[in-house]
Structure 1
């Protein structure tokens, strides 16, 4: 967390900075665990000063700021990072402050901030010739919003891994994380423990369709702000998709679809998985989403 819906929400919230020039990059005082920089912050600062932001993009779970010299600022929030245009949740965990001059000197954001409570996030500045090696197809698969059943089956269909674990592989589909993998498989009616190489064509079709439906719906609701309250959009407001979760973090509660089974929690690859044993079976039976 954040996953694709949260990072896409951040990207959309940052669009007002397009056209702005980076006047200065400042490293706020922070006594906590430092985030990862590449290159060093001093080199980053030297190279971004005076550069204009020409595009705000996203690759999987990363926010991309395209600069006028074809270099790229890549911000990966990881567990608790936020990219903001408004005041952060607190100054203590502020990791980067970009001072901006709006296009034409007019109205627009004057700052872009990166805040990270746990310090697990990363910021990279890539020259044009470095971008493919870091963000290209050898490192990241197709975006989860664009992937189809044939692509998923081609990339994962020969794997002996459990489908829930495999969906977290960013080389297969970029952007899906633990929360949305559970929601996708519930919507598709597929047991998270089922092996990829034993799934049917119909199951792959349902997984692909559920991927698009769940991710787009989560974006519509500006992502999920969980009980710790960490995730916020670019204006420091919470998302609301957590109110629509079907299985995630609902262990012990009655399934809202079948109303017969109880949501279970298991651990797969050291990550919590939530599912309904009544709606998600290894035998491929599927109950339609209401």
Structure 2
């Protein structure tokens, strides 16, 4: 589930490890589905040992530990992955532990920078070490402009000729990086655009509203440290829940009253095998924008 707001929250939460030097990398015992780690842990240990964390960055839905030799550890949480400085939700799904030098044996309640933990309940995430060239070729050049920084012109240029429904197209990471199923639904509701509308039939005003809604929804979700859904899986770096789930307008609100028109009811349909939530009364295929109350 982690999308741009959740991954951005993880990145901000683990910034205390910047400047720390890696002492040990290990895979804790786990009897669940193994997570993808490349290269093998022994090689990863050799490559990261004595390396200093120079920066923490995010690219789309990926957390990146950037080291002083320009290499990166690219962590893609996917469905249920977390990157933590605090104790994980449970020890059974802990996938990777990075310990830093000068760590105290017993961590105090206020010192959470002694180690970095990667936890993943379903084991669908990936952890890959890459040098600078590998990162540029395998990750950076394959992703579109980041959703927080894409311009309105870039958005329309990347998607405007597509015959796909706009909700499905917004999930294309090669076109715009970071938006997932949850936030695509929230963005289109705020923009007043029917998620079933083909991209090549959207008007210029609709594209402008979608672009504005992308920034508003994502920044607001980051401010609330992401969304923790009913399964409780997503947590921030200190193992605390996010708060944006309390701000959702349509996502997972099927059969509830529309928060804008109050007369419509939130519907659920399936697009590209994923649930889409919207209000047919407010989100129109025409270029007109519904009034906001």
TM over 0.5: yes
Equivalent of 1:109, from 92, 109, 113? Answer: 113
1:162 alignment partner in structure 2: 165
Structure 2 matches for 1:29-178, cutoff 5 A? Answer: 29-101=29-101, 109-137=113-141, 139-178=142-181
TM-score normalized by structure 1? Answer: 0.97
Deviation for aligned residue 1:284: 2.2
Distance of aligned partners of 1:205 and 1:226 in 2 relative to their CA distance in 1, 3 Å threshold: same
Task: Give the conservation status (yes or no) of the 8 Å contact 2:99–2:114.
Answer: yes
Deviation for aligned residue 1:225: 0.2
TM-score normalized by structure 2? Answer: 0.96
Distance of aligned partners of 1:181 and 1:102 in 2 relative to their CA distance in 1, 3 Å threshold: farther
Q: Structure 1 residue 208 and structure 2 residue 211: aligned?
A: yes
Equivalent of 2:249, from 246, 251, 254? Answer: 246
Unmatched segments (≥5 aa) in structure 1: none
Task: Give the conservation status (yes or no) of the 8 Å contact 2:5–2:226.
Answer: yes
Alpha-carbon distance between aligned partners in 1 of 2:133 and 2:278, rounded to the nearest angstrom: 43
Alpha-carbon distance between aligned partners in 2 of 1:229 and 1:14, rounded to the nearest angstrom: 20
Deviation for aligned residue 1:45: 1.4
Distance of aligned partners of 1:108 and 1:80 in 2 relative to their CA distance in 1, 3 Å threshold: closer
Alpha-carbon distance between aligned partners in 2 of 1:254 and 1:114, rounded to the nearest angstrom: 39
Unmatched segments (≥5 aa) in structure 2: 104-110
What RMSD over aligned residues (CA atoms) do the two structures have, in Å?
1.1
2:272 alignment partner in structure 1: 269
Task: Give the conservation status (yes or no) of the 8 Å contact 1:253–1:263.
Answer: yes
1:286 alignment partner in structure 2: 289
Alpha-carbon distance between aligned partners in 2 of 1:207 and 1:77, rounded to the nearest angstrom: 26
Alpha-carbon distance between aligned partners in 1 of 2:214 and 2:41, rounded to the nearest angstrom: 37
Alpha-carbon distance between aligned partners in 1 of 2:253 and 2:86, rounded to the nearest angstrom: 32
Alpha-carbon distance between aligned partners in 2 of 1:56 and 1:22, rounded to the nearest angstrom: 14
Aligned residue pairs total: 286
Alpha-carbon distance between aligned partners in 2 of 1:244 and 1:102, rounded to the nearest angstrom: 41
Regions of 4+ moved over 6 Å: none
User: Deviations along 1:15-40, whole A, 9 cap, x unmatched?
Assistant: 10000001000100001101111212
Distance of aligned partners of 1:33 and 1:258 in 2 relative to their CA distance in 1, 3 Å threshold: same
User: Deviations along 1:182-227, whole A, 9 cap, x unmatched?
Assistant: 0000000000000000001100000000000000000000000000
Q: Secondary structure at the match of 1:278?
A: coil
Alpha-carbon distance between aligned partners in 1 of 2:212 and 2:59, rounded to the nearest angstrom: 20
User: Deviations along 1:241-281, whole A, 9 cap, x unmatched?
Assistant: 00000000000000011000100000000000000011001
Equivalent of 2:239, from 225, 236, 240? Answer: 236
